[in-house]
């Protein structure tokens, strides 16, 4: 039996927070003894009757003697007086913490008692949880569950004391964050103290109206939700407002300034600006929720986990589907619309997390954007020189496209900027775009020995056009250089070793910017302008590829994918599947928004054949190879891929991760430096199960997750795919459409 965390815990004060923490300590068996001191004998008697404490004292000296943890669960204004009383009776190894909403005044109170030599066991804390109810009876054992607890360790705080408090609060199922004192008071002034002040003030304002009864009688849910916190303890909030006076007044000043802005917009009936402000606020709320879900403050790069499960059994795969809009085109529509002159309307926009990260970045740089709503976005362009410095770092989520293209754009701006991303993105190489940008005169810094995000960019640099020979085929690097060239002096040109997707060139022309393409050389002159236009985003061929492969490996399938972009720099997946013998046809070809589109029909009518995938198709199918590896496993004979080293530096090492997963499911394959050899298990005319099932680690790579999902169409055992939450970055409706087609995917979180 393990020893408890503490021998004796003494609470000074036993209201909502103190009694809730006592309940946690009892439930988790964290202490041999719990005692408390309050001025109210009734509170002590009630606490004993509830089984929360063994002994209660009105004199705190009696409570703290022999305690190895003292919790100051009392009003912050009383901290100094209590410390003066108990200080002589505490040992050097006693941990002292508090639960107050402000921290600077708690530290000042401790210094008034101890001087600058604060005890090493002193670690201020603040559980961000509460209720409008107070007192020992209001406490709940789950009050802190799924809430944050902020510890503000001081330079004098010992690691052993900090670690014990972290263990204590984690036992309450809280998320523990460490933060310095000043930052805590500043953040809480904006996120807690100001909202409470506003709630009290709004209720007071309405209560003073003659028609107050009608106002409260007919108040809607929003008013009730917002004003609920005005029912909190007035004495406590009175003390907090004075204790954190400076930070709260700064927050009030900022709120008044912003309120004046929105008042002016309404007064002037400035519809566009008001819509932009409201849209930015809504998107920021959603965006920050996503950021926090993927990067908790206590673990910056933690990724939440989701899992797909596909059960064995013969399946049909049928239907007509519209997959989401092309991710590459969606990114660029926002970027180019933002720096264009006039208003750009976009339809078919991909409402996936990668594209939304780009959209949010431009909102953060002052661009008014309406939507997305049902794939429609309206962008009020600010011109080539209208972007504004963001208030904080730009979060790119999982999107390498966003980061590399924006590196080019931001290198040319007057302001400094920092871009960061989630756990996957922070492992991806960025020197490949940083190097040519530095040659143009940009000043940017990647992180660590491997040149990964975050990227810090120093603004106000004069860029000059260069010619750059791409060492590898990369549409992202090409585009980043060309975008920097929009602001550079003279001509900027790029030569690529193999053709890559040309969405940037096509869309720049659609916005009226002259881009020249001569063979593998692309060039433009700096100093021009973009003019707003209408953009129709085609369905994404990379998303369609999973359904193409699914249909090609399933007997009797018949799937049509409508209005798919067939940009000739992206159609490698179609060509490779045709060479493998897939029954695939491209129908109803047309042009939309400058991009060729068509309906793609695939039928499962014959067994695929293993091939040596042609290297000239590699750049044209670079994102589709994980899905093609599933097709190769179902083919008859050997499939060989070479010339695809780029796959090793995508969201994951896609060669190795796919090879590992294929082996788990019974496929013989050999990864190489620049490709893979797959021994297909298909037999002509037979449609039996190919895969044995198993648990696959996707490494939080959306294309890995969706590719192995399609293996579920030919499996004899259950397939579990771990780390599938990033599927939402490119294909938020994947599981719904796959299930509709006949592949039932169970999603668990």
* Residues catalogued as catalytic: 623
Residue 536 contacts by C-beta under 8 Å, 6 or more apart in sequence?
A: 346, 347, 348, 592, 593, 595
Tokens of 340: 């264009």
Asked if residues 426 and 301 have their Cβ atoms less than 8 Å apart, the reply is yes
Closest by CA to 652, choosing from 430, 398, 472, is 398
3-state secondary structure (DSSP) of residue 498: coil
Is 650 known to sit in a ligand binding site? yes
User: Which residues, in sequence order, are bridge partners of residue 357?
Assistant: none
Is 428 known to sit in a ligand binding site? yes
- Whole-angstrom distance, CA of residue 243 vs CA of residue 184: 13
Q: How far, in whole angstroms, is CA 160 from its chain's centroid? A: 33
Is 701 known to sit in a ligand binding site? no
Closest by CA to 172, choosing from 51, 71, 272, 64, is 71
- Whole-angstrom distance, CA of residue 687 vs CA of residue 387: 56
Tokens of 375: 């794939």
- Whole-angstrom distance, CA of residue 433 vs CA of residue 729: 22
Is 654 known to sit in a ligand binding site? yes
Nearest 5°: phi and psi at 584? -135, 135
Asked if residues 702 and 651 have their Cβ atoms less than 8 Å apart, the reply is yes
Torsion of CA 93, 99, 100, 101, to 10 degrees: 130
Q: Give the torsion sign (CA, 391, 393, 397, 400).
A: positive
Cα→Cα distances 470→124, 206, 436, 475, 673, Å: 54, 65, 9, 10, 20
Specify the DSSP element, H or E, that contains 252: helix 245-267
3-state secondary structure (DSSP) of residue 204: helix
- Whole-angstrom distance, CA of residue 56 vs CA of residue 553: 73
Tokens of 282: 């809504």
Cα→Cα distances 456→100, 418, 478, Å: 37, 4, 20
Is 332 known to sit in a ligand binding site? yes
User: Which residues, in sequence order, are bridge partners of residue 33?
Assistant: 8
Asked if residues 627 and 703 have their Cβ atoms less than 8 Å apart, the reply is yes
The greatest distance separating any two alpha carbons of the chain, rounded to the nearest whole angstrom, comes to: 89
- Whole-angstrom distance, CA of residue 286 vs CA of residue 290: 6
- Whole-angstrom distance, CA of residue 464 vs CA of residue 565: 34
- Whole-angstrom distance, CA of residue 404 vs CA of residue 543: 21
- Whole-angstrom distance, CA of residue 230 vs CA of residue 246: 22
Tokens of 75: 């009003």
Tokens of 257: 């300034």
Closest by CA to 674, choosing from 641, 703, 649, is 641
Is 638 known to sit in a ligand binding site? no
- Whole-angstrom distance, CA of residue 569 vs CA of residue 596: 11
Closest by CA to 412, choosing from 466, 341, 461, 464, is 461
Closest by CA to 19, choosing from 51, 57, 63, is 51
Closest by CA to 355, choosing from 374, 327, 377, 382, is 327
Tokens of 389: 């410095």
Closest by CA to 629, choosing from 701, 559, 684, 561, is 701
Is 703 known to sit in a ligand binding site? yes
Is 328 known to sit in a ligand binding site? yes
Is 601 known to sit in a ligand binding site? no
Tokens of 556: 């009797």
In order, the DSSP letters of 504-527 are HHHHHHHTT---EEETTEEEEESS
Binding-site residues for 3-phosphoshikimate sit at 327-328, 332, 474, 476, 623, 650
Binding-site residues sit at 327-328, 332, 400, 428, 474, 476, 623, 650, 654, 703
Binding-site residues for phosphoenolpyruvate sit at 327, 400, 428, 476, 654, 703
């Amino acid at each position: 039996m393990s020893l408890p965390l503490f021998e004796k815990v003494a609470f000074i004060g036993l209201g909502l927070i103190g009694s809730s923490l006592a309940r946690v300590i009892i439930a988790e068996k964290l202490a041999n003894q719990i005692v408390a001191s309050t001025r109210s004998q009734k509170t002590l008697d009630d606490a004993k009757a509830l089984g929360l404490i063994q002994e209660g004292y009105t004199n705190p000296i009696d409570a703290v003697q022999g305690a190895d943890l003292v919790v100051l669960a009392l009003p912050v204004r009383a901290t100094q007086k209590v410390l003066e009383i108990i200080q002589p009776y505490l040992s050097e190894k006693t941990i002292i913490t508090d639960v107050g909403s402000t921290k600077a005044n708690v530290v000042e109170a401790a210094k008034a008692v101890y001087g600058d030599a604060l005890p090493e066991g002193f670690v201020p804390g603040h559980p961000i949880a509460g209720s409008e109810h107070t007192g020992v009876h209001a406490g709940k054992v789950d009050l802190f569950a799924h809430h944050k607890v902020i510890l503000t360790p001081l330079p004098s705080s010992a690691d052993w004391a900090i670690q014990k408090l972290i263990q204590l609060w984690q036992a309450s199922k809280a998320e523990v964050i460490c933060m310095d004192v000043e930052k805590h008071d500043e953040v809480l002034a904006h996120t807690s103290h100001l909202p409470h002040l506003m709630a009290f003030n709004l209720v007071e304002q309405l209560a003073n109206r003659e028609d107050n009864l009608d106002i409260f009688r007919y108040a809607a849910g929003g008013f009730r939700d917002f004003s609920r916190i005005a029912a909190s303890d007035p004495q406590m909030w009175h003390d907090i407002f004075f204790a954190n006076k400076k930070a709260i007044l700064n927050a009030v000043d900022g709120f008044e300034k912003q309120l004046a802005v929105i008042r002016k917009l309404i007064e002037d009936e400035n519809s566009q600006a008001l819509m932009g402000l409201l849209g930015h606020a809504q998107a920021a709320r959603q965006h920050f929720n996503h950021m926090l879900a993927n990067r908790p403050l206590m673990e910056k790069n933690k990724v939440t986990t989701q899992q797909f499960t596909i059960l064995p059994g013969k399946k049909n795969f049928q239907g007509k589907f519209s997959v989401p809009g092309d991710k590459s085109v969606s990114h660029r529509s926002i970027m180019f619309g933002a720096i264009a002159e006039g208003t750009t309307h976009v339809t078919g926009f991909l409402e996936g997390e990668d594209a939304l990260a780009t959209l949010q970045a431009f909102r953060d740089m002052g661009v008014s954007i309406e939507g997305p709503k049902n794939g429609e976005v309206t962008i009020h362009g600010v011109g080539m020189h209208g972007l504004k410095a963001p208030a904080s770092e730009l979060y790119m989520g999982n999107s390498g496209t966003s980061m590399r293209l924006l590196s080019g754009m931001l290198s040319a701006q007057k302001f400094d900027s920092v871009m960061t991303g989630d756990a996957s993105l922070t492992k991806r190489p960025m020197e490949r775009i940083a190097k040519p940008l530095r040659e143009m005169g940009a000043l940017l810094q990647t992180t660590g020995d491997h040149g990964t995000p975050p990227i810090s960019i120093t603004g106000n640099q004069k860029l000059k056009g260069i010619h750059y020979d791409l060492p590898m085929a990369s549409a992202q690097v090409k585009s980043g250089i060309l975008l920097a060239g929009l602001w550079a002096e003279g001509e900027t040109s790029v030569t690529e070793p193999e053709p890559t997707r040309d969405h940037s060139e096509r869309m720049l022309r659609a916005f009226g910017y002259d881009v020249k393409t001569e063979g593998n050389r692309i060039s433009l002159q700096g100093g021009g302008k973009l003019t707003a236009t209408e953009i129709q985003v085609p369905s994404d061929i990379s998303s369609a590829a999973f359904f193409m492969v699914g249909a090609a490996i399933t007997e009797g399938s018949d799937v049509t994918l409508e209005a798919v972009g067939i940009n000739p720099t992206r159609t490698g997946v179609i060509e490779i599947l045709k060479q493998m013998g897939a029954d695939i046809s491209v129908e109803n070809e047309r042009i939309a928004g400058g991009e060729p589109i068509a309906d793609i029909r695939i039928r499962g009518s014959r067994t695929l054949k293993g091939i040596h995938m042609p290297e000239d198709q590699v750049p044209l199918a670079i994102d589709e190879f994980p899905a093609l590896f599933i097709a190769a496993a179902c083919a008859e004979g050997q499939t060989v891929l070479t010339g695809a080293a780029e796959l090793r530096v995508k969201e994951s090492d896609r060669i190795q991760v796919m090879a590992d997963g294929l082996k788990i499911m019974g496929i013989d394959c050999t990864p190489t430096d620049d490709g893979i050899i797959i021994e297909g298990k298909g037999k002509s005319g037979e449609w039996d199960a190919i895969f044995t099932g198993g648990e696959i680690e996707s490494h939080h790579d959306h294309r890995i997750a969706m590719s192995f999902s399609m293996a579920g169409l030919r499996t004899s055992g259950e397939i579990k795919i771990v780390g599938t939450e990033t599927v939402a970055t490119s294909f938020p409706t994947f599981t719904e459409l796959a299930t509709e087609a006949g592949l039932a995917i169970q999603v668990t979180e």
